[in-house]
Amino acid sequence: MRFEGNLQTSSAPRIIKKPTQIKMQKPNKRLSNQTAIVTGASSGIGISIAHGLGRDGANVVVNYFSNAESAEELAHLISVDKTCGDAIAIKCDVSKENQVIEMYKQTINHFGTVDICVANSGLQKDAPMHEMTLAQWQLVIDVNLTGQFLCAREAIKEFMRRGPRPEVSKALGKIIHMSSVHEVIPWAGHANYAASKGAIVMLMKTIAQEYGPIKIRANSIAPGAIQTPINRSAWETPEALNDLNKLIPYKRIGQPEDIAAAAVWLASDESDYVSGTTLFVDGAMTCYPGFATGG
């Protein structure tokens, strides 16, 4: 189970939304004339982030690895809505350097540049540490960490090539890493996943430190329990949901839209002085609710 995943006060689990089921809110257009790449945007949190960026005026690249139908559906939904920017779907395995480079090339050819990178792709291959294979370890590190490195590196190259556009954004470019509460909370049975998320902290902070002088901002979002297909077992039954609620002081399951709202804000000029930090969107999960009564 990926803890970017789940909580709720009601005993009845919500139905996961498909792209066509997401209701468009009134757009603010904070991201007009900007282009965003969102990796892993064909399901779960990625769908809502891509939709949210488009709703605020950004052109969006809906990246996918295997779910072409969902990605194309979402890109079409954004494109035909006159309140949104444009959108295209691009297939890319973010762990492969040549494919990431090609994704950026296609994006620049289509939209002219890239302003925002949301490195959202992630997966799990769970096992007890003593049973975890090297292949399980490597796959998670390759996608969750190396994929974020490759996407951020290509974004930085494009930001520097293109130069500032102060009429569009105060920052030269924005990078948003998708982390997890497990960048600070250990997770037995998920050593590869937790290690990848812990490493993202230093990747993000180093980018913010190294490229801050040229106005590139880098931040992370750390979701707590968000209701997505990846952790369906944690919220599908009332019993599982009640158990999960014990981990959340705020006593509700997070929704992908909660993460999308944070991503749009971090991509906008409203957060221009925010860089090098992790924004936890977790209903206070990282406040260790087990100690609420003294431990």
Q: How many domains does the chain have?
A: 1
When pLDDT is averaged across residues 12-36 and rounded to a whole number, the result is 68
Kindly state the DSSP code that residue 164 receives in the 8-state scheme.
-
pLDDT at residue 85 tops 90:
yes
Which of 120-124, 165-169, 245-249, 261-265 is predicted with the least confidence, judged by mean pLDDT?
245-249
Residue 21 confidence (pLDDT): 58
When pLDDT is averaged across residues 35-60 and rounded to a whole number, the result is 97
> Does 13 map to a domain?
no
> What's the whole-model pTM score?
0.89
Choosing from 64, 193, 211, 273, the catalytic residue is 193
280: domain CATH number? 3.40.50.720
> Does 102 map to a domain?
yes
> Does 201 map to a domain?
yes
> Does 143 map to a domain?
yes
pLDDT at residue 46 tops 80:
yes
> Does 49 map to a domain?
yes
Q: Is 193 a catalytic residue?
A: yes
Q: Which residues contact 70 (CB under 8 A, 6 or more apart)?
A: 18, 19, 42, 43, 47, 64
User: Checking DSSP bridges between strand 116-119 and strand 216-223, what pairing results, if any?
Assistant: unpaired
**Domain residue limits at 284:** 29-225+256-291
- Is 37 in a helix, a strand, or coil? strand
Sheet holding 216-223, edge to edge: 87-91, 59-64, 35-38, 116-119, 173-178, 216-223, 278-281
| Confidence label for 4 from pLDDT (cuts 50, 70 and 90) | very low
> Does 243 map to a domain?
no
> Does 138 map to a domain?
yes
Distances (CA, A) of 164 to 73, 192, 207, 215: 33, 38, 18, 9
Helix or strand (DSSP H, E) at 28: none
